[in-house]
Structure 1
Amino acid sequence: MYTILLAVLGTVGGFLLALPFLGLKTAVIDYKRDSKLVQIFKRLGIWFANIYTTFFRGTPMMVQAMILYYGMSLVILNLTGYNQWWKPLIAAIIVIIMNTTAYIIEILRGAVNSIDEGQMEAARSLGFSRKKTLYLIIYPQAIKNALPSIGNEFIVNLKDSSVLSVIGIFDLFKAAGSTASKTADSVTPYFIIAVIYLILTSLTALLVKKLESKRNGGVKNVW
């Protein structure tokens, strides 16, 4: 069963892929210093990042999986005449990474915007370029502040990976359905996986709370 594997790969891969997108989302066009070509590339980058996040945040992951898996199957079959290597698991990993990327982009962008603007101004007054300030001062703080939210995204992936059973992924949900069809018991298998999901998400939530407490200097929320 691939539930945990998909959640881990989706979150880690989504985080890594979100980093270059963060650069696009936070890009600023300097009309005085940037050449016309650089301005065009920055506009295209911002446009692409906005379209990407809008699409993957605005459509269900189930639909994305169906489009990618069956669409690519047809493309590969038409181009090569056979389709031996394009498996549901490959499509599922790609989909969950791309979907998670869109959400983590916005998480990181919000974390960047929460950093005091005075830090940017102070760094610039010391001679740091905007790019160097972002990569050495702003982004590291933003990533640290975003870790609890990224942990919550992992919890979402644990649960939402069940929709990937539509393309044949044998996860917890698919296993429960298979057991139910063999035993004619439609309640017990799903109740068991509900408990398993609850255990997995609860353990992850505890870890996220510890990360958040550490970020807040050891101060714990009472709610």
Structure 2
Amino acid sequence: MLVWLKTQIVDKKRDRFIRILFKRLTSSIATIYIVLFRGTPMIVQAMIFYYGVKLIFDLSWWTPLSAGLIIVVLNTAAYIAEILRGSMNAIDKGQMEAARSLGFSRVKSLLYIVYPQAIKNALPAIGNEFIVNLKDTAVLSVIGVLDLFNATRQVVGATYDTVTPFVITAIIYLVLTGVTSLAVNYLENRQAGKEVKHA
């Protein structure tokens, strides 16, 4: 959605004034969102988001965990939107023109021609983003989320053994990131296999 909002093209000849205004407004909102979430650290976002919402609304389900999950999703969305936008820009413009000449609307051209290729090209970068976010969840301990790092610190405080708990935590993170890398590699290979079959 963010990618679509940011990459809208204003057609001054065909679009009416309201549509031009809508496109420019939504594109600006998407740009501001991406700049804010990519330009500020997740630890700061977590503090503002969790305590800010808690201050304004009295929500029973608003726990550190739910706030942390929402922050990770919002943060990841901003990064992935830019990854996909860059991937879309790398696709030859002739493909969109060819789709339009075959009678596809802009939306259908994006859905069936451009987006599938952009996602395929962006898979390695998206995989890296998920791995980085998996490790960055440690910063959510500032709002009280009991993550691996925070749990390890508690174990260190109870046992006075600094090295062993952190070695175990490092192994757990390695397993999690390794599984994510394998999943991304599987998707890449599957996509490559599909291309070979079509060829």
TM-score by structure 2 length?
Answer: 0.90
Match of 2:113 in 1: 137
Larger relative contact order (CA 8 Å, sep ≥ 6): 1
Shift of 1:122: 1.0
Give 1:102's aligned amino acid: A
Greater shift, 123-132 or 92-101, is seen at 123-132
Q: What secondary structure, in the 3-state scheme, does the structure 1 residue paired with 2:132 have? A: helix
Give 1:176's aligned amino acid: T
Is 1:199 matched with 2:175? yes
Shift of 1:215: 3.8
Is 1:154 matched with 2:130? yes
Greater shift, 65-74 or 206-215, is seen at 206-215
Shift of 1:206: 3.0
Runs of at least 5 residues in structure 2 that lack an aligned partner in the other structure: 195-199
Match of 2:36 in 1: 55
Greater shift, 200-209 or 148-157, is seen at 200-209
Give 1:112's aligned amino acid: M
Match of 2:16 in 1: 35
Two-structure CA RMSD over aligned residues (Å) = 1.7
Shift of 1:217: 4.8
Give 1:86's aligned amino acid: W
Q: What secondary structure, in the 3-state scheme, does the structure 2 residue paired with 1:42 have? A: helix
Q: Does the 8 A contact of 2:120 with 2:188 survive in 1? A: no
Give 1:34's aligned amino acid: D
Deviations 1:63-96 (A, max 9, x none): 000001111111125xxxxx53321111001100
Deviations 1:107-132 (A, max 9, x none): 11112112221111111222222222
C-alpha distance in structure 1 between counterparts of 2:187 and 2:109, whole Å: 25
Match of 1:167 in 2: 143
Identity of aligned residues (%): 58
Match of 1:123 in 2: 99
C-alpha distance in structure 2 between counterparts of 1:161 and 1:118, whole Å: 41
Q: What secondary structure, in the 3-state scheme, does the structure 2 residue paired with 1:137 have? A: helix
Q: What secondary structure, in the 3-state scheme, does the structure 2 residue paired with 1:180 have? A: helix
Match of 1:12 in 2: none
C-alpha distance in structure 2 between counterparts of 1:63 and 1:190, whole Å: 25
C-alpha distance in structure 2 between counterparts of 1:106 and 1:210, whole Å: 23
C-alpha distance in structure 2 between counterparts of 1:109 and 1:84, whole Å: 37
Shift of 1:216: 4.2
Shift of 1:187: 2.3
**Count of residue pairs the alignment pairs up:** 194
Structure 1's 175 and 134: CA in aligned 2 closer, same or farther, altered over 3 A?
Answer: same
Q: Does the 8 A contact of 1:148 with 1:211 survive in 2? A: no
